[in-house]
Structure 1
Amino acid sequence: MKYKIGDTITSTITGIQSYGVFVALDKQTQGLIHISECKHGYVTNLEDMVQIGDEVEAKIIDIDEYTQKISLSLRATEHLPIPANIKPKRHRRRRYTPQIGFETLSKMMPTWIAEAQQDEQIRIAEMSDR
Structure 2
Amino acid sequence: MSIEVGSIVKGVVTGITKFGAFVELDGGESGLVHISEVADAYVKDVNNYLKLNEEINVKVISIGKDGKIGLSIKQLSEANKKTKFTQAPKKSFDDMMSDFLKESTEKQQDLRRSLDKKSGNIR
Same fold (TM over 0.5): yes
More helix by share: 2
CA RMSD of aligned residues (A): 1.9
Matches within 5 A, 1:1-130: 2-26=2-26, 28-65=28-65, 67-79=66-78, 80=81, 81-83=86-88
1:90-113: CA deviation from partner (whole Å, max 9, x where unpaired): xxxxxxxxxxxxxxxxxxxxxxxx
Structure 1 runs of 4+ with >4 Å offset: none
One-letter amino acid of the counterpart of residue 42, structure 1: Y
Q: Max radius of gyration: which structure?
A: 1
In 2: Cα distance, 1:26 partner to 1:69 partner: 15
1:29-74: CA deviation from partner (whole Å, max 9, x where unpaired): 1100000000012001111111110001000000002x11000000
- Mark the runs of 5 or more structure 1 residues left unpaired by the alignment: 85-130
**Match of 2:76, SS?**
coil
- Mark the runs of 5 or more structure 2 residues left unpaired by the alignment: 90-123
Q: How high is the TM-score relative to the length of structure 1?
A: 0.59
One-letter amino acid of the counterpart of residue 72, structure 1: L
**Match of 1:42, SS?**
coil
**Identical columns (%):** 31
Shift in Å, 1:27: 5.4
Q: How high is the TM-score relative to the length of structure 2?
A: 0.62
